Chain A
Amino acid sequence: MALRYFLRRLLRMIPVILGMTIIVFFMIHLVPGDPARTLLGPRAPAEAIDAFNLRWGFDRPLHEQFLSFLGGLVQGDLGTSLSYNVPTTELVTGRFTPTLLLLAISGLFAMVISLPLAVVAALREERTPDHVVRVIPMLGLGLPAFWVGILLLTFVALRVDWLPVGGYGATWPDRLIAMILPGLTVAIGIAPFTIRSLRSSLIEVMEADYIATARAKGLAGVRVLWAHGLRNAVIPTVTVLGVNLGWLVGNTLIVEKVFALPGLGALMIDAVLERDFAVVQGLALIFGLLVVLVNLLADVVRASLDPRVQLS
Chain B
Amino acid sequence: MTAPVLQVRDLQVRLSSPRGVVHAVRGVSFDVEAGHTHGIVGESGSGKTTLLRAILGLLPSNATAGGTISVSSRQVPLAGGRAKAVDGVSIVFQEPMTALNPVVRVGLQISEAPRFKLGLGRRDARNRALELMRLVGIPDPVRRFDAYPHELSGGFSQRVLIAIALSAEPKIILCDEPTTALDVTVQDQILKLFRRISEETGVAIVYVTHDLAVVAQTCRTVSVMYAGQFLESGTIDAVFGRPRHPYTLGLLAAVPDVSHGRTPLVAIPGSPPDLVSLAGGCPFLPRCSYGREECADGVFSLRSLNRHQSTACIRSDALSGSAPAREAEAS
Contacts and interface: CB of A to CB of B under 8 A. Distances in A.
Direct contact of A and B (CB under 8 A): yes
Interface of A: 208-210, 212-221, 223-224, 227-228, 231-232, 235, 305-308
Interface of B: 56, 58, 83-87, 89-91, 93, 95, 98-104, 112-113, 116-117, 148, 150, 161, 164-165, 167-168
A217 B113 contact: yes
18 contacts: A209-B95, A210-B98, A210-B100, A210-B102, A212-B99, A215-B84, A216-B85, A216-B165, A217-B112, A217-B113, A217-B164, A217-B168, A218-B117, A219-B84, A220-B83, A227-B112, A306-B103, A307-B102
Residue among B58, B112, B167 having the largest count of chain A Cβ atoms under 10 Å:
B112
Contacts, number: 84
A209 B94 CA distance: 10
B99 A220 contact: no
A216 B175 CA distance: 12
Contacts of A231: 101, 103-104
B69 to A, nearest CB: 15
A209 B83 contact: no
A307 B93 contact: no
Nearest to B52: A216
Nearest to B81: A123
Given A209-B98, A212-B91, A227 B104 contact: yes
Given A212-B91, A308-B148, A218 B98 contact: no
A218 B148 CA distance: 22
Contact of A224 (B83, B93, B100): B83
A307 B150 contact: yes
B102 A218 contact: no
B84 A213 contact: no
Given A217-B113, A218-B85, 8 more contacts: A212-B91, A213-B93, A213-B99, A214-B101, A215-B56, A220-B116, A221-B83, A224-B83
A218 B84 CA distance: 6
A146 to B, nearest CB: 40
A221 B93 CA distance: 20
A218 B170 CA distance: 10
A309 to B, nearest CB: 10
Given A210-B98, A307-B150, A219 B113 contact: yes
Contacts of B91: 212-213, 216
Closest 5 CB pairs of A and B: A221-B83, A217-B113, A209-B99, A209-B98, A210-B101
Given A210-B99, A210-B100, A224-B83, A215 B58 contact: yes
B87 A218 contact: yes
B101 A228 contact: yes
B288 to A, nearest CB: 35
Contacts of A235: 103
Contact of A219 (B95, B117, B165): B117
B150 to A, nearest CB: 5
Nearest to B108: A227
Nearest to A125: B61
